[in-house]
Chain A
């Protein structure tokens, strides 16, 4: 039987992870994400799992990657400053195809910025923050329910594609308390094990190799250096490097429409809001207060890889409006994929767009 609870977003994140079978959490305290670590510290030791508070965020993500190679579902949670520290090892997880989940409860930046205020300022950092070309998956919850559901889902995506997956939440959702339904159990799709006799870094039909868990007799060598399909360093052959990086990118990008997770409202509308995370709530309020078939809404739960085809579901669209708690990071991506005008509605400072602000914008339409 599913049950109804009243819960904080960060707690729901931790509970979603536990429901998905997360067995390892390595972290370092940082506002506004700390409640996730605290909840894991209480819960994991009682569920045969491991909680460890590391010396910094570089060590946290390193420990998570190490744990993942033993087959454990592993995660960390942080916010801006810690997220920046993790970048080198996130690239390592990409290169070594290590499944793991990284939760970023975003706060105002740059630097120490606004520790207690929400933001969506790390949306491009999670896409491009580590060096080199790569592609990963980023989810964005807009409610406490989605915090639970999407965190659980992040583990499945991490295992299926063997990539680090980001749950790009923020202070607003992390600290909101609302009613959620805890399902009986969540769907769990774990990594496909490496078949004996196959090469550990040869992509299957989907570009994803089987996973050679440590301690199972695979004798696998894992390196962040460019490597061949055996996993052996081959750092000067241009073809080996190009083939590897292209596979790493395309295993994610080629699945972007297949894994797209979204809501579409009023597909015949001329003016279309595109949102992810907290501004979704403001738009829903506007549409609830004044139902109008001329106003559409595309709500993305997965932002990266960007499912650009969804924009074309709005066949009558004349304008896209993208409210974000940053200076227009995903609006740029929308612009890249349409010839129609894209209105970016940036908001800095930690407060959510009010429904009134968005309504004024609609009223100003020609």
Chain B
């Protein structure tokens, strides 16, 4: 079996724009699930509302496309009621961090045995490009026409602080690393959070001098800094650049978790 066998072929073509990063993240996730050797019948994908949250609709397993922001609460019910099922959640930055912020911190705190893949495109893609809690300061969106003024959330940092067992961040450029991180998340009992920075050429790039898809991918490639490098710089007492986004594994631990199959 290959990861492509997980796709629901009769649902194609998909709704994603040309050049959207979501497809890459879905492929990486399915590749990781495939590596786990899980059966389609024992795996459930759950999501909220947004472009990112449409992902489960293209996958063959049982899937629950829920309400905006609430995927983790639905997933908590599925997993606690039947711990035998492997539950993977797809979400977006708006879905997870704005309307779903409360569920996010509590799912981390409970350390419930789910793997969450967040496609953070720093924007509300589905509704046409409004600012999200992850829109960088200064970025243009339809609701921040003069540049976003509010500070953005660091989702991974939030997940670490709130108690998740596994947290990593990569981008849609870092395909191999992202796939490995998702797999590590799937392997780790308890709450696993994988943040994937993704390009949204339609609702974000276009307004932020990243017109071409390649511009956005270039941005994701060059605007990140490895956590190991930050560590080394810190040890050497060097200043850590604050314009770069840390990527890599932030935590992998084994705190007591809920919903783990006995």
Contacts and interface: CB of A to CB of B under 8 A. Distances in A.
A14 to B, nearest CB: 18
Contacts of B81: 23-24, 50, 66-67, 70, 72, 74
A291 interface: no
A158 to B, nearest CB: 15
Contact of B106 (A55, A69, A214, A219): A55
B57 A221 contact: yes
Interface string B1-23: 00000001001000000000000
Interface of A is mostly: mixed
B73 A54 contact: yes
Contact of B78 (A212, A214, A220, A233): A214
Interface stretch (B39-47, B153-161, B168-176, B227-235): B39-47
B82 A214 contact: yes
Given A221-B65, A224-B66, A214 B44 contact: yes
A222 interface: yes
Contacts of A219: 8, 40-41, 60-62
Interface stretch (A57-65, A103-111, A144-152, A254-262): A57-65
A215 B85 contact: yes
Interface of B is mostly: helix
Contacts of B65: 221-225, 233
Interface residues of B, number: 33
B57 A70 contact: no
Given A67-B78, A74-B81, A223-B57, A58 B63 contact: no
B77 A66 contact: yes
B212 interface: no
B73 A58 contact: yes
A64 B64 CA distance: 13
Interface residues of A, number: 41
B85 A67 contact: no
A24 B62 contact: no
A220 B62 contact: yes
A215 B82 contact: yes
Interface in A198-230: 212, 214-225
B103 A66 contact: no
A88 interface: yes
Contacts of A50: 80-81
A174 interface: no
A226 B175 CA distance: 34
Contacts of A218: 62
B16 to A, nearest CB: 14
B66 A92 contact: yes
Nearest to B39: A217
B74 A63 contact: yes
A89 interface: yes
Nearest to A59: B73
Given A59-B106, A67-B80, A218-B62, A232 B57 contact: yes
12 contacts: A50-B81, A52-B76, A52-B80, A54-B76, A56-B102, A58-B73, A69-B78, A88-B67, A214-B62, A214-B82, A215-B85, A216-B41
Given A50-B81, A62-B67, 9 more contacts: A54-B76, A58-B73, A72-B81, A92-B66, A215-B85, A219-B60, A224-B67, A232-B11, A233-B65
